[in-house]
A and B are shown apart, each in its own frame.
Chain A
Amino acid sequence: DQQVKQNSPSLSVQEGRISILNCDYTNSMFDYFLWYKKYPAEGPTFLISISSIKDKNEDGRFTVFLNKSAKHLSLHIVPSQPGDSAVYFCAASHTGTYKYIFGTGTRLKVLA
């Protein structure tokens, strides 16, 4: 049973436009969420996080939105750059555990 789902395996966006990556979760106990970015032949690297007490967190070009009632979060990248082309994973956890459950990833391609 996939507790964290990224239903879009891939996404292509024109440079300068907005990229929106989506993630859904099923476990209502999850209260902390992260996004990781992964380039080929490298390990995933932390990008941005959000706690369930917030509905938005912004860091430069990256903003994560959380809709708890819908059990949905999204990552917005504005403006998108070719260097943003990577696989993006969302991950979720709940208080009291060190364990993160990851989604299957979305491959973003930003076209120059």
Chain B
Amino acid sequence: DAGVIQSPRHEVTEMGQEVTLRCKPISGHNSLFWYRQTMMRGLELLIYFNNNVPIDDSGMPEDRFSAKMPNASFSTLKIQPSEPRDSAVYFCASSQDIGYTFGSGTRLTVV
């Protein structure tokens, strides 16, 4: 099993640009989560999907953030327009029951 796959690993973009982060969960896992890691707040849950349906998006910081899961094997997190304060490591995780498997993360830098 290849695990949870995220792309890109690193993204550097200019303020105001659109950024799309991608995630392929583990096959058979029915829950998918997007987290953001910052020094101040640790791992913050942004949104989670169950069976491709968004269940809780209360952690999405602003309307600039959106997430989709068009099928069981793919999810995107989009930021438009991006701002320097969005700079962080974004993790995707998937789960079948108890506990998550995390991807390696995307380090986003907005300059």
Task: Spell out A's residues near B (CB within 8 Å).
Answer: 2, 6, 32, 34, 36, 41-46, 49, 89, 91, 98-105
Contact = CB atoms under 8 A, between A and B. Distances in A.
Given A49-B99, A98-B50, A105 B105 contact: no
Contact of A104 (B4, B42, B91, B100): B42
Contact of B43 (A42, A46, A89, A98): A89
Q: Which of A6, A44, A45, A103 counts the most chain B CB atoms within 10 A?
A: A44
B2 interface: no
Given A44-B43, A44-B91, A99 B48 contact: yes
B45 A43 contact: no
Interface string B38-69: 00111111001010000110000000000000
Nearest to B4: A43
Contacts of B55: 98
Nearest to B97: A98
Contacts of A100: 45, 100
B74 to A, nearest CB: 18
Nearest to B9: A41
Contacts of A41: 104-105
A89 B42 contact: yes
B103 interface: yes
18 contacts: A34-B99, A41-B104, A44-B43, A44-B100, A46-B99, A46-B101, A89-B42, A98-B33, A98-B48, A98-B55, A98-B95, A99-B56, A100-B45, A102-B35, A102-B42, A102-B43, A104-B40, A104-B42
A93 B105 CA distance: 22
Query: Binding site of B, secondary structure by majority: helix, strand, loop or mixed?
Result: strand
B93 interface: yes
B91 A43 contact: yes
B31 interface: yes
Nearest to A6: B42
A103 B42 CA distance: 6
Given A102-B35, A104-B41, A43 B56 contact: no
Nearest to A106: B42
